[in-house]
Amino acid sequence: MKALVSIKRVVDYNVKVRVKSDGTGVETANVKMSMNPFDEIAVEEALRLREAGTVTEVVAVSCGPLACQETLRTALALGADRAILVQTDEELQPLAVSKLLKAVADKEAPQIFIVGKQAIDDDSNQTGQMLAALTGWSQATFASKLKIADGKAEVTREVDGGLATIRISLPAIITTDLRLNEPRYVTLPNIMKAKKKPLDTLTPEALGVDVKPRLKTLKVVEPSKRKAGAKVADAAALVDKLRNEAKVI
């Protein structure tokens, strides 16, 4: 059984993001970029399935500029068998990525496609769901546990009220939540091996996918700074302020 995992290159979670002075987005020049943490979890889960003998091949896919190769190399160093980059310099919105991933899924015919539940840059939380809609495959989002047996996937999902366990047929799209696993470290011998693993490049044109943005970003601004608080003498003063100043009670 083949597993595909999607990988997004994002601003590293340790970086304090800054909004570009023209308000068109956040600064990515000279900023450390890394693999989206939810995608790391996706790679880890695929590797565990391979180590358990369920999966025979793990293929990492990324969509974006040439620099995504570096992020894919990290996936290879974690242990993925090969990688595919759908290379484009266009801004890619979730629908475009879903379409590209569908095109790759059509070519590769995996039984399981593991996707991060969201990317920590735009926090859209859409790609996995739209990919399921486009492929017509079953989906299990926000997975915190995954078991594959008898051609079915049993997935524990983190939902508002607690945990829901569902069984779905394959092929399936799984989106990863934080507690699914703890990703391994990249080991030095695997970094050396990753250099020799295949990394193929495709383009949206070759896949016949139109990636033109459908949404327009009007403006990006910094969150407003929190104003200094005030101390009140007693409960009565607090009630007074809440009633007459803040007008919330």
Could you tell me the CA-to-CA distances from 184 to 45, 89, 215 in Å, in that order? 10, 31, 36
User: Using CB under 8 A, which of 34, 98, 118, 156 touches another protein?
Assistant: 34
User: Using CB under 8 A, which of 2, 50, 73, 117 touches another protein?
Assistant: 73
By the rule CB under 8 A, 77 interacts with another protein: yes
State in angstroms the smallest separation of the CB of 240 from another protein.
29
**Identity of the residue, 162 or 189, whose beta carbon is nearer to another protein in the bound complex:** 189
**Identity of the residue, 83 or 174, whose beta carbon is nearer to another protein in the bound complex:** 83
**Among candidate residues 132, 200, 171, the one with its CA nearest the CA of residue 3:** 171
DSSP 163-180: EEEEEEESSEEEEE-GGG
24 in Cβ contact with 221 (< 8 Å): no
109 in Cβ contact with 2 (< 8 Å): yes
Which of the stretches 70-78, 132-140, 150-158, 209-217 binds another protein when contact is defined by CB under 8 A?
70-78
From residue 177 to residue 206, the character string flagging contacts with another protein as x (rule: CB under 8 A) and all else as - is --------xxxxxxxx-x------------
State in angstroms the smallest separation of the CB of 57 from another protein.
22
- List binders of another protein among 111-140 (CB under 8 A): none
By the rule CB under 8 A, 74 interacts with another protein: yes
Summarize as ranges the residues that interact with another protein (CB under 8 A).
Answer: 34, 70, 73-74, 77, 185-192, 194
